[in-house]
Chains A and B, each alone.
Chain A
């Protein structure tokens, strides 16, 4: 993990003092709410329906056990005993008091954490593959590049008042687990046949009112040029991005209205001016950062463990979990473990303080003290030995973190919706819960296989419904919450935007509608290997429409 330098520590302390001063100016009335808003938003502090909401950055989804314990302490001391992991790998607290926020930031700073640029019209926390550094399909480790972006973008003096928020994601594997296609800038590390490393740069992806897939504007950028190229893109955006209409201000609209070709020309022209600047990365700059992300001391193990194999046979529940919630590891004898935050007893992505403490202990005991958060609102222990899996599973089960549903129907992404959010127009948590209860049978869910279902409580699409195989969008129609269904979306390397299937359903009808859609899939799939998405792409919307609307 990246270890803070003296400078990084000092920066956090100064930032906390600065914010403490802003809060005191606000509490004294020297700062209007409107002006304070500009400042608090740069520190992740939103004003929600019932209270302030604080979003804490988890840089590219990496947490140490010590940091996780601090997150637990904050949940317990300043909040109502829980936190919520978001689709951008961050954690949100829903009930902090304004006057406590500087203290929270102090506690965070003590473990190298903060809420800097987790909101506001600036460059947000960079997200990445939760399997970075351990994935079997990895081309190159994205974390050093994420860290360089973190340093470059933190308090960037020129890009702190952009037309709109700006999100960057980096993925370094064959499979995209970071949803790079729906970010303002998506970066994929790739290799040419000769083994040379480069970056694919996608610009202008995003969800919200106008969902768009990012456009590939550079197909092979040398890694040394990453920051100069980002600087060029951001400068073009800061100059030309629309500021007349909040809903047209994201870079996706600029790319769309300018045209992909013309936009590329603008960026390339600006890049010619800056490519040789001091921001160009030298070999040693990249190596020095890479040195922070060394492998832990793996043991030399076989990828077969007879005890593990026996446990799979003797313990069917364990086998179900192992089947769905494990991923192969680049190191033989190890597995990546998904901790499901999608049990039927807790809202999607929520973790209690006690669970956080226990997860920290489990990470220390089984996984080199490291935890990752994922884009799909789960957690990961990345380095667990085969021989430890059964005991780990036992402990996870008692913590209600072992629902065997990773990448399955009930692994639902959901925004907080109208239960918390000031923007929401409909509830999403109760819909997620109703679906989780209805589709409670392991065999059924398992038979459906790989599928994604996401729920957003308003058109801003924080629940990423557009890029789910099955998306649900809650809207308010003449005082009634209704739910629109989109089909065929994907947030992976085959990214696509789902299409609306027909008129919306009321809350009491939506669960049955989803069940009907799943029936169509089960009846029509060629074989159990054909996923819902593949089947939908083959069949088109007609049979689904027919079933829902007759």
Chain B
């Protein structure tokens, strides 16, 4: 097992990312995720595949555009180009809360121990941790804080209404 955590458990990652080289008609078998651009231009062809499909977004992509395809998308991958770049928090929150996406939302890039707590609160449930992260310690990070003030993906009401 590598650096992948899903639903708070380390596990193998069944997904293959699109490398940018293949023709979408000749993608490897199995579950594949592709960039948003490819998804938009080739989604009808992709939907014919017998495997699960996912999409990886840039931080500037609008998650609302995925809504019509939610039933065919099992994975949305959101990126943290560097730790300090928090745009994917908003993307995840909108996907989960506003648009009601129920599939996997995965964090990739500069994904570090001290962010996963916030990520899970925004609706992420899968994490490709940066390779230097110590997975057993990271698993504790989900519960480091038990008190939360805001309504969020994991909590319906603000603290003053509970």
Contacts and interface: CB of A to CB of B under 8 A. Distances in A.
A285 B161 contact: yes
B149 to A, nearest CB: 5
B83 interface: yes
A155 interface: yes
Contact of A278 (B84, B122, B134, B161): B161
Contacts of A64: none
Interface stretch (A159-167, A189-197, A463-471, A498-506): A159-167
A160 B144 contact: no
Interface string B120-162: 0110000000000010000000001111111110001111110
Interface in A1-50: 7-8, 10-11, 14-15, 17-18, 21-22, 30, 35, 38-39
B85 A243 contact: yes
B147 to A, nearest CB: 4
A151 B159 CA distance: 8
Given A288-B160, A289-B160, A238 B87 contact: yes
Interface string B28-60: 000000000000000000000000000000000
B7 interface: no
A15 B161 CA distance: 22
B27 to A, nearest CB: 31
A306 B150 CA distance: 53
B90 A158 contact: yes
A161 B93 contact: no
B101 interface: no
A298 B83 CA distance: 51
A331 interface: no
A235 B112 CA distance: 23
A283 interface: no
Interface in B1-38: none
B160 A38 contact: no
A161 B85 contact: yes
B149 A155 contact: yes
Contacts of B148: 155, 157
A273 interface: yes
Given A278-B158, A278-B161, A285-B160, 19 more contacts: A11-B145, A11-B149, A14-B147, A30-B134, A35-B114, A39-B114, A121-B84, A154-B149, A156-B150, A157-B89, A158-B118, A158-B122, A159-B86, A160-B86, A160-B89, A161-B86, A277-B151, A279-B158, A285-B161
Q: Which 9 A-B pairs have the closest CB atoms?
A: A161-B86, A157-B121, A11-B147, A157-B118, A158-B89, A278-B151, A151-B149, A7-B147, A18-B144
6 contacts: A38-B83, A151-B159, A152-B158, A157-B152, A227-B158, A278-B151
